[in-house]
C-alpha cells in the first residue's frame, strides 16, 4: 500500500510519542498479544527515519533497532498485516542479523498502525523463535488489538494537543500580564514626571 514518506514522518513526529516513557495502557495491549498467541516477544514498534523504536516491549531488552534491518519497516507497505511463518526461508529476511543472531526472529506477524487512517507509523507485532503456521484469518485478533491501539494513539494525540494548547495559553497570559505591568509602570513614571 503506497504512502508518502515525508507525510508519514511528519505525522509521526506530530504525535509526540517517540522516546516517551513506558505506559500501562500500551503495555497491556502488548501483553495481551503475547498471551493470546503464546509468543515470547510482542512489541509496539514505531518507525522513524533511521530506526524502529519500541513504545512497548515484552521479551526484548533493547529499545530500538536500525530501520534497515527492521521487519516492521517492511510491514508499513502492507494494507493490514504482514505474516512471515519462517523468516529463515524468506529471501528478504534469511540473512537479516535479527534472524541469524539474537533475538533470532523466525516467526513474525505485524499489524500495521494507521491512527489517521492514512499514514503507517509502525506495527503491533508478535515474534517467536520457532516457525508458526497461522493463517491471515487466525491473525484477526492481532488486528483487533491493533485497532484498539490506533484508538489509544489518537487519544494520546488529542491529549498532547490539549497540553500544548494549555501551555501556549498560560504563556500568552503571562506575556500579557507582564506587558500590562510594564505599561502600568510606565504610566506611573509619566504621572510622577508631570508632577
Query: pLDDT digit string (tens) for 124-158?
Result: 999 999 999 888 889 999 999 999 999 999 998 88
Residue 181 lies in a domain: no
Taking the C-alpha atoms of residue 11 and residue 3, their distance in angstroms, rounded to an integer, is 12
Query: Cis ω on the peptide bond leading into residue 134 (within 30° of 0)?
Result: no
Residue 193 lies in a domain: no
Residue 182 lies in a domain: no
Average pLDDT, the chain: 89
pLDDT of 170 reads: 75
Q: Give alpha helix (H) positions in the chain.
A: 5-14, 24-37, 71-75, 97-100, 140-194
Structurally, how many domains does the chain consist of?
Answer: 1
Residue 20 lies in a domain: yes
Query: For 97, what's the count of Cα atoms within 13 Å in the CB-facing half-sphere?
Result: 6
Residue 174 lies in a domain: no
Q: Which residue has 540473512 as its cell numbers?
A: 95
Domain of 51, CATH number, reads 3.30.450.40
Query: What mean pLDDT comes out for the span 69-93?
Result: 95
65 touches 54 (CB < 8 A): no
Taking the C-alpha atoms of residue 58 and residue 181, their distance in angstroms, rounded to an integer, is 54
Query: What mean pLDDT comes out for the span 155-174?
Result: 77
Query: What mean pLDDT comes out for the span 25-43?
Result: 97
Residue 125 lies in a domain: yes
Burial label for 113, CB within 10 Å (0-12, 13-18, 19+), is: buried
Query: What mean pLDDT comes out for the span 163-176?
Result: 73
Query: What mean pLDDT comes out for the span 9-37?
Result: 95
Q: Cα 65–89–143 angle (5° rounding)?
A: 60
Query: What mean pLDDT comes out for the span 67-72?
Result: 96
Helix (H, G, I), strand (E, B) or coil at 113: strand
User: Measuring CA to CA, which residue among 110, 66, 74, 112 is closest to residue 92?
Assistant: 74
Residue 81 has pLDDT above 90, yes or no: yes
Greater confidence (120 vs 168) lies with 120
Query: What mean pLDDT comes out for the span 7-36?
Result: 95
Domain encompassing residue 37: 5-158
Residue 132 lies in a domain: yes
Residue 189 lies in a domain: no
Amino acid at each position: 500500500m503506497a504512502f508518502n514518506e515525508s507525510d508519514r514522518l511528519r505525522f509521526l513526529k506530530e504525535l509526540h510519542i517517540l522516546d516517551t516513557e513506558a505506559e500501562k495502557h500500551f503495555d497491556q495491549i502488548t501483553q495481551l498479544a503475547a498471551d493470546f498467541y503464546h509468543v515470547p516477544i510482542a512489541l509496539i514498534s514505531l518507525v522513524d527515519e533511521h530506526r524502529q523504536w519500541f513504545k512497548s516491549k515484552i521479551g526484548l531488552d533493547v529499545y530500538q533497532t536500525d530501520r534497515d534491518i527492521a521487519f516492521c519497516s517492511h510491514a508499513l507497505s502492507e494494507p493490514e498485516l504482514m505474516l512471515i511463518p519462517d523468516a529463515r526461508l524468506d529471501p528478504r529476511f534469511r540473512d537479516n542479523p535479527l534472524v541469524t543472531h539474537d533475538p533470532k526472529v523466525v516467526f513474525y506477524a505485524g499489524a500495521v498502525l494507521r491512527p489517521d487512517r492514512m499514514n503507517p507509523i509502525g506495527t503491533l507485532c508478535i515474534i517467536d523463535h520457532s516457525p508458526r503456521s497461522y493463517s491471515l484469518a487466525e491473525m484477526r485478533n492481532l488486528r483487533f488489538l491493533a485497532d484498539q491501539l490506533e484508538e489509544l494513539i489518537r487519544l494520546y494525540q488529542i491529549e498532547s494537543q490539549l497540553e500544548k494548547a494549555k501551555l501556549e495559553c498560560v504563556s500568552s497570559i503571562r506575556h500579557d500580564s507582564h506587558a500590562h505591568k510594564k505599561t502600568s509602570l510606565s504610566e506611573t513614571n509619566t504621572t510622577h514626571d508631570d508632577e
